[in-house]
Structure 1
Amino acid sequence: MDPITPEEYFQDSPLGLAVHREVHHLLVTNWPDVAVRTTKSQVAFRRERAFAFLWRPRQYLRSASADVVLSLALSRRLESVRFKQVVQPSRGTWMHHLEIGAVEDVDQQVEEWLDAAAAAAGPRLGPPTPDAWGSCD
C-alpha cells in the first residue's frame, strides 16, 4: 500500500490540516530530525520513537466532539484540565489526548509538551525507510 500524505488524511478537515501544519512547524523548528508518517488512522511524528499523533476521532467515535486530537506519549503523567483523557497503555508510557478546536489551541503550553515528548523520544537513528517515513517537509 502506498503511503498517504497529511493533506490526503485531512482532506475533509481543514482544521486538522491547519493543526498539522502548525504542529509540524513547531517540531521541525526545534527538532530538525523529526520524521512524519501518515497512515489511514493518524499522522505520527517521531524521532527514535513516535511521540505525537494527530488523528480524527470521528473515524472511531460517532459522538466525537472534536475534529482533531493531538495525542502525546510521555514517560510521566502531566496534570492539566486541557486533556480530554490521559491513559497509561504500558508501564512507563502515558498517552495524553488533547482535543483541538482551533489552531490557536496549539499554544505555548502545547509547544512545551511537544518539546518534552520529542526530547524523550530520543534522536532519530539513521535515515527513515523511504516507503514508510517521510520528512516533515
Structure 2
Amino acid sequence: MAGTPRDVEDFFAGDPVGLETFRRVDAALAAQHDDVVVRVSRSQVAFRRRRGFAALWVPGRYLRRAAAPVVLSVATRERIDSDRFKEVAHPGPWMHHLEVTDPAQVDDEVLGWLHAAADEAGGTG
C-alpha cells in the first residue's frame, strides 16, 4: 500500500470483512462512548480515548500465510483469559489479538472487552 490511507474505506479497500468488522466495532463503541477517536495510519485503524485501546489491522500485509483477513487488537491493564485470542502479549498493557474471519465474531463477549478497554483508556475531559 503506497502512502497513508485517507480514511477507513481506503484502508480496507477490497477487504469487506475488515470494513464490516470496523463498522461493528465503531458503532458499538460510539453507542457508549461519544469521545472515541478513530485514527487511520498506514498500518492500522486505531481507537482512542485518552490513550489507544484497540486497533484493527490486516495481517496479510505483513505475513505470508495470514489466517484471517483482519485482526482486532485490544489493550487492557489485566490479561483477558480466553481461548479466542490468537496471541496475548504483555509489552506494557496486555495486548490481546483476535483473528476475525467473519464480522459476526465481534459478538457481545468481544464488545464487552472493547467497552472495558475503552473505560480504562479514560475520557478526553
In the superposition, the TM-score normalised over structure 2's length comes to 0.95
2:4 and 2:41 in contact (8 A); partners too: no
Is structure 2 residue 82 aligned with structure 1 residue 80? yes
2:102 counterpart residue number: 102
Distance 1:68 1:98 in 2: 9
| Among 25, 28, 31, the residue aligned to 2:27 | 25
Cα distance, 1:86 vs structure 2: 0.1
Q: Hey, what does 1:71 align to over in structure 2?
A: 73
Aligned counterparts of 2:6 and 2:54: Cα–Cα separation in 1:
18
The equivalent residue for 2:112 is 112
Tell me which stretches of 4 or more aligned residues in structure 1 moved more than 3 Å: none
Q: Give the gaps of 5 or more residues in structure 1.
A: 126-137
Letter in 1 for 2:98: L
- In the alignment, which residue of structure 2 is the partner of 1:122? 122
Structure 2 residue 18 is the aligned partner of structure 1 residue 7:
no
Distance across 2 between alignment mates of 1:62 and 1:40: 18
Aligned amino acid, residue 11 of structure 1? A
Is there any run of 5+ residues in structure 2 with no aligned partner, and where? Answer: none
- Give distance in 2, aligned partners of 1:103 and 1:14: 9
Alignment partner, residue 132 of structure 1? none
Matched residue count: 123
Using the TM superposition, give the Cα deviation of residue 3 of structure 1 relative to its aligned residue in structure 2, in angstroms: 5.9
Q: 2: CA distance between counterparts of 1:102 and 1:66?
A: 9
| CA distance in structure 2 between the partners assigned to 1:53 and 1:112 by the alignment | 15
2:49 match: 47
Q: Give the C-alpha shift of residue 113 in structure 1.
A: 0.2
Once the two structures are TM-superposed, the CA of residue 119 in structure 1 deviates from its matched residue by 0.3
Answer whether contact 2:5 2:11 (CA < 8 A) is retained: no
Deviation at 1:101, TM superposition (A): 1.0
Counterparts of 1:111 and 1:29 in 2: how far apart (Å)? 11
Alpha-carbon shift at residue 124 of structure 1 (Å): 1.7
- TM-score when normalising by structure 1: 0.86
Query: What residue in structure 2 maps to residue 135 of structure 1?
Result: none
